[in-house]
Structure 1
């Protein structure tokens, strides 16, 4: 019997943001703030909480909170069901905050892209750049 291993790909983006981790954490975990930089949602920072992210394009992502380490790390599933396998995505997003002298180092990682999901992979690489730019802009407005 031959076992086939499917290697998945990961989008990883790292940014230095001139905001303390506490500000970024608020923007990452408060639903009304998440809606401003990412998508409308019914998020709660509780491990096991199931929530949806609703995109402007009309799509809905089914998610579940996996890790909540306040001010440090947040992880959740990012699943999109579609009839076309190339768009049917089961992935995990992990956001890690590390304090720095000038603010916070943010690492966003979305893992789980299959080899035949290049369009989704490239879309995530581009999409997360825009999301993180909005996160940075929003965080600058928080007290």
Structure 2
């Protein structure tokens, strides 16, 4: 984590950008390493990620309302990631950037826009920060390792 408004993760994956891109943009694959969703890799598409249960400690209902804000195949995916809970009110942006590196891919994640003055958003940032850098990153790597091209 860089500061009170963002989360940054830098991850090397021993797979080519095309395979990593599929894991980021195919709804079924995305659900396997992140959350159930109705994502489509189309600019302007509105969708949800559904955690399946609320997180009372951070005052979120467990459903993120999202929109595809930018998409450059095998290079960049940017989405809004908003919580509709009245106490949390999180309005953030997630950007994944892919860079070829050797025989693999360097994947950068930037989750930005947390309100430094909202205690529930700060709890969300801490919770998500540890999740992005450990559990989620590991789940993505496992999915890629398990799948044959």
TM-score, length of structure 2 as denominator length? 0.86
1:16 aligned to 2:12? yes
- Structure 1 residue 119, shift from structure 2 partner: 0.4
Which runs of no fewer than 5 residues in structure 2 stay unpaired?
55-61
Q: Does 1:133 align with 2:134?
A: no
Counting only pairs closer than 5 Å after superposition, residues 62-141 of structure 1 correspond to structure 2 as 62-84=65-87, 87-115=88-116, 116=118, 117-129=121-133, 130-141=135-146
- Counterpart pick for 1:32 among 28, 35, 42: 28
Aligned length: 135
Indicate the structure with greater strand content: 1
Distance in 1 of aligned mates of 2:45 and 2:73: 15
**Which range moved further: 92-101 or 56-65?**
56-65
Alpha-carbon shift at residue 131 of structure 1 (Å) = 1.1
Which aligned segments of 4 or more residues in structure 1 are displaced greater than 3 angstroms? none
CA deviations 1:51-89 (Å, max 9, x no partner) are 0100032521100001110000000000011121xx221
Tell me if the contact between 2:4 and 2:122 (Cα under 8 Å) persists in the aligned partners.
no
Higher-Rg structure is: 1
Q: Classify the secondary structure of the residue corresponding to 1:64.
A: strand
CA RMSD of aligned residues (A): 1.4
Gaps of 5+ in 1: 1-6
